[in-house]
Amino acid sequence: MAAWQLTYDCDLSCVHCCTLSAPGRKMPGELSRAEAVDVADRRVSAQVPYVMLCGGEPTRVPHFLDTAERLGWGGAWLKIETNGQSFSEELATRLSKLPIRSIQISLDGATEESYRKMRPAASLEKAVGACLLARVHGMPLEITFAPTTLNIHEAEDVVDLALALGAFRFNTGKLMAVGRARLLWENLRPSEPQYASFRSMLDARRTELEGRLDLCYEPFSMEEDLALRASEPPGTLFILPDGRVALSGGLSHAVADLRKQSVSEAWAAYQKAWSHARVREDVERIEREGAFMAPPVRTHSWAPLADDFPTGSTAGKETA
């Protein structure tokens, strides 16, 4: 599988954004249309069965639909992660002709007030409208909710909203100390009592809503998620906007480059990297010290893992 960040450009600049995305803030060297379509075609040839297109806001990329259609027409199942602010009738119509496994939309509040504290200048009404549009066009809907001090009190109302919108899944977990959330950590991080009450609510609603809405929140923290991935490495290439391949959003290593390597070469490097000593050390340190304390956790930079993992020319040049 693949999680493909098409861009770090976004129409929003959310306070908790793990990629530090903002209007015009692309990663240096993002793939061109021709390069993105080539990567899509090569993924199809390699029979990659499932691709998640994310960002930044992936629908802002001029070749977003070209890329999605190349993948979908080639037989890959697709998940589209969007903030829903520009999710149009035309976009929904074209996407609905593809093998869409889900449209995932973030609802970080049940009221405009909380939602806008998380996503300044955005509209909850538009995000809800995008959810309805996805459902009207017959596409499965997933909702995500990132808890912070600004919105955790509305979490249960967002569960109810997801249910009312016909979503099949509600994804959440502890706030990740990555990107802008890391920079604003002391203001955004919920307290442990807040997390305990949040978790109790999720446990209760998961039981109550079984078979109607799938509440996904385990692993609950980035540390737990990384520990699980290190012990049972996932089969999901994490593709950056410039074509490099990383292991996970919580680690800072680039391990391959699809501008220079085939999909099977990138896959081999990805598999090898999960057992590399530096990766294991970083995962252990994050487990031991917590995600925020651990030096390797990135704010917005990716560096080559080692000399035998060649990656592209923009490697290590990004800054927070």
* Beta carbon of residue 19, minimum distance to ligand SF4 (angstroms, whole number): 6
Rounded CA separation 315/174 (Å): 29
Q: With respect to ligand SF4, which residue has the nearer C-beta, 84 or 304? A: 84
Q: With respect to ligand SF4, which residue has the nearer C-beta, 5 or 261? A: 5
Q: Which of residues 103-162 bind ligand SF4 (CB under 6 A)?
A: 119
Q: With respect to ligand SF4, which residue has the nearer C-beta, 10 or 139? A: 10
* Beta carbon of residue 287, minimum distance to ligand SF4 (angstroms, whole number): 26
Contact 206, 170 (CB under 8 A): no
Q: With respect to ligand SF4, which residue has the nearer C-beta, 83 or 172? A: 83
User: Which part of the chain contacts ligand SF4 (CB under 6 A), choosing from 7-15, 150-158, 206-214, 298-306?
Assistant: 7-15
* Beta carbon of residue 82, minimum distance to ligand SF4 (angstroms, whole number): 8
* Beta carbon of residue 263, minimum distance to ligand SF4 (angstroms, whole number): 25
Rounded CA separation 185/233 (Å): 28
Give the number of residues in contact with ligand SF4, rule: CB under 6 A: 12
> Does residue 7 touch ligand SF4 according to CB under 6 A?
no
Strands 100-106 and 77-82: parallel
Rounded CA separation 83/106 (Å): 6
Report which residue type is found at 295.
P
Contact 159, 117 (CB under 8 A): no
Q: Which of residues 250-309 bind ligand SF4 (CB under 6 A)?
A: none
Q: Which two tokens mark 299?
A: 């704010």
Residue among 14, 27, 44, 158 that touches ligand SF4 (CB under 6 A):
14
> Does residue 17 touch ligand SF4 according to CB under 6 A?
yes
Rounded CA separation 189/212 (Å): 30
> Does residue 213 touch ligand SF4 according to CB under 6 A?
no
Q: Which of 132, 64, 128, 129 is nearest to 94 (CA)?
A: 64
Q: How would you classify residue 263: left for phi > 0, otherwise alpha for psi between -120 and 50, otherwise beta? A: alpha
H/E stretch holding 182? helix 180-183
Rounded CA separation 168/124 (Å): 19
* Beta carbon of residue 108, minimum distance to ligand SF4 (angstroms, whole number): 8
Q: Which of residues 25-64 bind ligand SF4 (CB under 6 A)?
A: 55-57
> Does residue 12 touch ligand SF4 according to CB under 6 A?
yes
> Does residue 21 touch ligand SF4 according to CB under 6 A?
yes
Contact 30, 242 (CB under 8 A): yes
* Beta carbon of residue 282, minimum distance to ligand SF4 (angstroms, whole number): 24
Place of tokens 């995500």: 144
Residue among 5, 7, 19, 172 that touches ligand SF4 (CB under 6 A):
19
Rounded CA separation 283/135 (Å): 39
Q: Name the site residues for ligand SF4 (rule: CB under 6 A).
A: 10, 12-14, 17, 19, 21, 55-57, 83, 119
